Amino acid sequence: MHTELPNGVQLRDQRPLPSAALSTCLIGIAPSEWYALINARVFFWLDPERLNRQRSACNPRPQVVLTVDANKLIAASAEKMTVTPINTGNARRRPARRGAATFVPYAAWVTSAWTSEGASLGPPVRPSSHPPVELTIAGSIPDIMQFVVDV
């Protein structure tokens, strides 16, 4: 499903996560709560290789990638920011455990990595060397263009 804006730009919506697949990997929340969690956030890929795999999966539609100044975005939005250790929008192949604690507040991650996620979702705790996969911001970023460094 794609939403077309009045100017003709299409917003891509990924295929829905099947609730049956989610039910096998969710800890402490229902699929409807997971959908609400992910739909209330703006997502950024942190690894260009993952970004390009996603882009390839969405061909042949034209796509625009915004590259943002992460340091500037963090300075402006750290209190609304979380990181995740997984692709939260995929639960199809060997889905990782997930729950509300999958969204680790950025400040907590800086000081204690994935400890809070492991405490809530159960062992094993991911090593601190495990890089974040997604950076998310709760709500919206109405002034996103002040952070964009490349299109």
**pTM, 2 dp:** 0.88
CB contact at 8 A, 46 and 131: yes
The model's pLDDT over 95-122, given as tens digits with 9 standing for 90+, comes to 999 999 999 999 999 999 999 999 999 8
Is residue 1 one of the residues assigned to a domain?
no
Q: Which range marks the domain in which residue 82 is found?
A: 17-150
Average pLDDT over the chain reads 90
Is residue 113 one of the residues assigned to a domain?
yes
Determine the longest span between alpha carbons in the chain, in angstroms: 48
Name the phi and psi angles at 98, rounded to 5: -155, 155
| Domain total of the chain | 1
Is residue 64 one of the residues assigned to a domain?
yes
Residue 32 predicted with pLDDT over 70: yes
Is residue 3 one of the residues assigned to a domain?
no
Full DSSP string of 77-112: HGGGEEEESS-TT--SSSPPPBSGGGSEEHHHHHHH
Closest CA to 52 of 43, 42, 63, 36: 63
